[in-house]
Amino acid sequence: MHKSTSGSSLGPDGLDLTQSFFKPILNAAPPSPTKHHNKISVIGAGNVGMAIAQTILTQDLVDELVLVDAIQDKLRGEMLDLQHAAAFLPRTKIQASTDYAVTTGSDLCIVTAGARQLNGESRLNLLQRNVTLFKKIIPPLVRYSPHCVLLIVSNPVDVLTYIAWKLSGFSSNRVIGSGTNLDSSRFRFLIADHLDVNAQDVQAYIVGEHGDSSVALWSSISVGGVPVLSFLEKQQIAYEKEMLENIHKEVINGAYEVISLKGYTSWAIGYSVANLARTIMRNQRKIHPVSVLAKGFYGIDGGEVFLSLPAQLGRGGVLGVTNIHMTQDEMKRLKDSANTILEVQNHLGI
């Protein structure tokens, strides 16, 4: 497929006009040999992939952004559409191809590609088709970018992150799932909405499976540094556990509601993943609830399973898992969530 880049070959026969347009500096020193070229590849140019790509571009995170997809015409159309916005965006080289060689030297590879569920198809059969798809995606990414971090967004994200880890041969810290980073954002929004505060002042996590068995960590929620539940108890302010459960249900059903209304989710996951990309590429060492290899943390020892835990992220991927306080009930729910994911993996025969 033809790749269009931001080169300066505008003259006849591809003549490079740079030498004519600019007068060179005499005796100029060469650039520093230190690597400053940042590159992200997004695999899958669907609604989610393009929302991620667009958000990354607006945040000035990379020197080069690559799109890979199997549908050639749509892929080229998306690439051109983004390139035509160059005057309004930070300068970024945008490339697209159906050939994975275009991803060579990526620092971060974001995988959003996935098979669509067919009418009447079981979730297990859909997952098996996605496993087959990942066997075509992950090996070439690893071959062309052996030092990259893999960030998996495709659903079911926890199981597919595990699959990507197995297929890649990478250390577990370099394979991350987007997990409950977005769920936690929805959680913070709903709490902020109830308390009429800014969501950025709410510290709250959803952990475990990105799905129905996720766990809301109510015991560690704070607003402006004030632990919410312990504050309510000290002030003898009554609250109903049913209300808390309803907020958690709203988090779980949030994506389903958006899909029922507009057909798909895109913008929130786009911002969520771009936020993760920023933390990784800028080595910000921020804590995000993302899908990581959970074995050995919080009493999870039944097998190799990826699920979301609050983890510190940086240029090397996962730098560590936070020792966050959990009640006995929360710990039990987290282990149950791990078992739910392991059961699916066992059905796959992996």
Domain identity same for 200 and 327? yes
Domain identity same for 169 and 243? no
Q: Is 344 annotated as a binding residue?
A: no
Domain identity same for 244 and 99? no
3: pLDDT strictly greater than 60: no
Q: At what angle do helices 123-144 and 328-348 cross, to 10 degrees?
A: 90
Domain identity same for 163 and 195? no
Q: Domain residues for 137?
A: 35-177
Output the pLDDT for position 209: 93
348: pLDDT strictly greater than 90: no
Q: Which of 134, 151, 177 is the last residue of a domain?
A: 177
Q: Which CATH number do you get for residue 238? A: 3.90.110.10
Q: Is 154 annotated as a binding residue?
A: yes
Q: Is 346 annotated as a binding residue?
A: no
Domain identity same for 197 and 300? yes
Domain identity same for 159 and 238? no
Output the pLDDT for position 58: 94
Output the pLDDT for position 20: 65
Q: Which CATH number do you get for residue 163? A: 3.40.50.720
Q: Which of 84, 34, 40 is nearest to 60 (CA)?
A: 40
Quick: pLDDT tens for 32-50: 666 678 999 999 999 999 9
Number of domains in the chain: 2
Task: Share the mean pLDDT of the chain.
Answer: 88
Output the pLDDT for position 254: 86
Output the pLDDT for position 74: 96
Output the pLDDT for position 14: 59
230: pLDDT strictly greater than 80: no
- Which residues face 68 on adjacent strands? 43, 97
pTM for the structure as a whole = 0.88
Q: Is 155 annotated as a binding residue?
A: yes
Domain assignment of residue 16, yes or no: no
Domain identity same for 120 and 207? no
- Between 192 and 228, the more confident residue is 192
Q: Is 114 annotated as a binding residue?
A: no
Quick: pLDDT tens for 136-179: 999 999 999 999 999 999 988 999 999 999 999 999 999 999 99
The residues assigned a catalytic role are 210
Domain assignment of residue 7, yes or no: no
Domain identity same for 159 and 210? no
Q: Is 46 annotated as a binding residue?
A: yes
Domain assignment of residue 278, yes or no: yes
